[in-house]
Structure 1
Amino acid sequence: MQCDETKPACSRCRMSGWMCPGYKSEAELIFRHQTDSVRKKLQPSQVTMLCGLEGHSRSSLPGEVRVREVFPSAVDRATSFFIHQYVFQGQASSHGNHDYLPALLQEDNGGALGTITAAAGLAGLANAGNATTWRSEAYSLYGRAICQLKIALDDPVQVKADQTLAAIMLMGTFETIASAHADADSMKSFGQHTVAAARCIELRGPFQFRNEASVKMFLQLRHLIVMIYHQFQEHIPYALERWSSWAEPIQRKDGSPANRFSELNDRLAAVRAKIKRESICTPSVVASLLLSIDNELESWRSTLPPSWGYRSYKSLNPSTDTYESHYDVYSDLWVASMWNDYRSVRLTIYEHIMSTTLKYGLEEDKELLQIATTVLRAMANDVCRSVLFHLGHQSQTDIEIPDDVAIPGGYLLFGPLYLSGVLRTTPMAQKRWIASKLRQIGVRMGLGLAFSMSENLLRMDNNSL
């Protein structure tokens, strides 16, 4: 919603409860429109805490209406931005992402969690508004959060607190938001924070899963651990299975397929680590090892409950973009994300088979390339068909998504989408479409890594000319 410049105060400022200073730059407007959207997600007590409604009132002159001037600080507005764009609450209690944050922030009392949340939000605002000053302030907050975390980790009580674990996890989120490069170094930095959070899980022990927030954090962390260890073709820590058993008693019943999927990822990671460790390069042997896991994945898929189902639609509008004419609608973002996790794992399996065959294969191995090409293209297309849903399109009636709608699903989407885009089997036209969607995520969420991923895909396109 743009400023309508209504006098004496514009409509947006009246709705948000702020004194209207007149028309501002695009970057400043990004800051100021978040609070009203966040109010809809939070309880009144959380709104008061997060939005910093600390103002001052002036004495009324005769015949003048008494007004209360409200000036949310940069930290408050950055926190609001992060919650608006990165927190979503699913229809089911355990089906959200970062949705434990509002309650934990309410009890943080000036600790590391509040600081790193503000840092991540300010980094996002800096990217969205291209504001260098905000970027440096974001890193200053990031440094402060590191100092606060060091103190918390040395305290026997704070080290086991939910706020401490959440803060460590958000350090990795900050890296993806602030990162200017989609390369091995950025993944390594993100991975270090994920490993640190994993160590915190081990230290906290089985009694940590006494509440819903702990389970939600663990499920989100488990997803990150699997992604990181697949990226570096390493064994997933055995302890992850033990942690899953600790959390399982208080998980929802429909969470069991996710637990089974995690077990399959453990086995896949072990197989890929074995291939790397033993330098196995015979295509038929590599394919045999990996396809045994793929067969189990397909068996897993065939037994999913109805709640995991989704509906496919095709647009009848001839002007609809080719890659948006066929799209899928899911029951919620968590289910959509789990499907993309499944697709990403199959992409990993068949890209491994293809790369090995291209490098070491003989004439008799050509059939493996044909099989891999078919699966890679199918999985990439399915990821692309999930884009509209992740970016806010929740029904089959309207493909257009308003610019002021938050897209927290973008944070779950950008990884699988980029993986689909870098495949050698993905056509250049599709790469360009994926790049445009990654840029849209970057602009709307201020997600730096999505910007750099988009640029990488466009460079691939230019290099092919």
Structure 2
Amino acid sequence: MFTQLRNTILISCIQRQAHVPSTISEFSERAALLRSDTHSYTDRLAAILIKLSNLRADISAKYIVDDVEILSAAQAIESELTTWVITLPQKWAYHTFEVPERDFVPAANKAGLYPYDGRYHIYADFYISHAWNNYRAASIIANEIILGQLHRLSTQSATLSFSSESRVRCRSIRATQRQLALDICHSVPFHLDLVDAEEVQRSRPLGSVGGFILLYPLFVAACVYGTAHPVGKWVIDCYKLIRRTHGTEEALALVDILNGRLTSEGRDWAQEDPDIVEQSNVNEGKVEEVTEVSTDGNSH
């Protein structure tokens, strides 16, 4: 139950650029002493997400205004996220499968949504896949803060502005964001049981769990590319499928938000300052009602 509640609060705070209540950090530290090794990795990830949310809140409230300080804080968070991935045990590894469209056999009631790029992931369980997507969404947002600060600093320095090294770095960061967004998309068939594969059938979610836990990461993935890009269009199709098969009204609300907030196509930093941080944040609590459900259907 605590893990479920914490996930809901953390995602809400990140979306609203709000500080995470101190009690969440305190209870996380206490829970970490009593829980299994599997939970220890999600507890570590949660601690990083708390830092990310608090940084966004500090920036929004102008508690931090120095560009170098913000850049340093965001880079530290991204470094922690990278370390989290590197130290994961083998059980957390996932496998990528490819299926040509001509050979694609959709699962019952899931016709019409082919896995993006014909690829899909298989994880050990939904608890692990959910944690991976939380990591991906967090890394996308942390990297967008980094991109924003690099762009602002470039406008203050003629040397940095024309630095080929700086531009290469920004393109590399943007490529990383795009790959993370694609990885979120590739996790969808596992969550929604889109493919008629033995690996997925063995680990299918209970009830509407698979759809619920995809709402937030899919939103962030769509923000990376924009709704005119095939990825953005595919994400919208996912939301419509989640609404149709799981009865999740929040999915259609997110479709409206995406169509209303995103530009017609993705933007490159080299052309314009892309602010995914602002795009992925929804004001006035419009996405706060997204419900987090434990990934195995039980309380954690």
Q: Does 1:336 align with 2:147?
A: no
Q: How much is the aligned-residue C-alpha RMSD, in angstroms?
A: 3.0
Task: Write out aligned runs for 1:173-184 (5 A).
Answer: none
Distance 1:293 1:436 in 2: 32
Deviation at 1:460, TM superposition (A): 6.4
Q: Deviations over 1:417-446 (max 9, x none)?
A: 011102257861111011000111112222
Task: Write out aligned runs for 1:47-126 (5 A).
Answer: none
Deviation at 1:385, TM superposition (A): 0.3
Deviation at 1:316, TM superposition (A): 3.6
Distance 1:265 1:455 in 2: 27
- Structure 1 pair 454/426, CA: closer, same or farther in 2 (3 Å)? closer
User: What secondary structure, in the 3-state scheme, does the structure 1 residue paired with 2:224 have?
Assistant: coil
Q: Deviations over 1:193-234 (max 9, x none)?
A: xxxxxxxxxxxxxxxxxxxxxxxx111011112112222323
Deviation at 1:382, TM superposition (A): 0.5
Q: Is the 8 A contact 2:115 2:194 kept in 1?
A: no
Deviation at 1:376, TM superposition (A): 1.1
Partner in structure 2 of residue 350 of structure 1: 143
How many residue pairs are counted as aligned between the two chains?
243
Q: Higher relative contact order by CA 8 Å / sep ≥ 6: 1 or 2?
A: 2
Partner in structure 1 of residue 9 of structure 2: 225
User: What secondary structure, in the 3-state scheme, does the structure 2 residue paired with 1:422 have?
Assistant: helix
Deviation at 1:254, TM superposition (A): 1.7
Q: Does 1:325 align with 2:118?
A: yes
User: What secondary structure, in the 3-state scheme, does the structure 2 residue paired with 1:313 have?
Assistant: strand
Distance 1:394 1:243 in 2: 39
Deviation at 1:392, TM superposition (A): 2.0
Distance 2:136 2:59 in 1: 21
Q: Deviations over 1:110-158 (max 9, x none)?
A: xxxxxxxxxxxxxxxxxxxxxxxxxxxxxxxxxxxxxxxxxxxxxxxxx
Partner in structure 2 of residue 236 of structure 1: 20
Of residues 18, 32, 48 in structure 2, which corresponds to 1:264? 48
Distance 1:347 1:462 in 2: 18
Taking structure 1 as the reference length, the TM-score comes to 0.47
- Structure 1 pair 279/318, CA: closer, same or farther in 2 (3 Å)? same
The one-letter code of the counterpart of 2:170 is L
Distance 1:355 1:449 in 2: 30
Distance 2:232 2:30 in 1: 41
Distance 2:52 2:191 in 1: 27
- Structure 1 pair 342/247, CA: closer, same or farther in 2 (3 Å)? same
Q: Is the 8 A contact 1:324 1:388 kept in 2?
A: no
Q: Does 1:374 align with 2:175?
A: yes
Of residues 420, 432, 435 in structure 1, which corresponds to 2:221? 420
Deviates more, 1:386-395 or 1:337-346: 386-395
The one-letter code of the counterpart of 1:335 is I
Distance 1:334 1:453 in 2: 23
Partner in structure 1 of residue 232 of structure 2: 431
Deviation at 1:372, TM superposition (A): 2.6
Partner in structure 2 of residue 280 of structure 1: 65
The one-letter code of the counterpart of 2:124 is S
- Structure 1 pair 304/317, CA: closer, same or farther in 2 (3 Å)? same
Q: Which has the larger radius of gyration?
A: 1
Partner in structure 1 of residue 36 of structure 2: 252
Distance 2:72 2:171 in 1: 16
Runs of 5+ consecutive residues of structure 1 not aligned to the other structure: 1-216
- Structure 1 pair 461/352, CA: closer, same or farther in 2 (3 Å)? closer
Task: Write out aligned runs for 1:118-137 (5 A).
Answer: none
Distance 1:295 1:317 in 2: 38
Q: Deviations over 1:137-196 (max 9, x none)?
A: xxxxxxxxxxxxxxxxxxxxxxxxxxxxxxxxxxxxxxxxxxxxxxxxxxxxxxxxxxxx
Q: Does 1:289 align with 2:90?
A: no
Runs of 5+ consecutive residues of structure 2 not aligned to the other structure: 105-113, 156-160, 266-300
Deviation at 1:267, TM superposition (A): 2.6
Q: Deviations over 1:389-419 (max 9, x none)?
A: 110258745989xxxx944210000110011
User: What secondary structure, in the 3-state scheme, does the structure 1 residue paired with 2:96 have?
Assistant: strand
Distance 1:383 1:346 in 2: 12
Q: Does 1:410 align with 2:194?
A: no
Q: Is the 8 A contact 1:441 1:447 kept in 2?
A: yes
Q: Is the 8 A contact 2:97 2:120 kept in 1?
A: yes
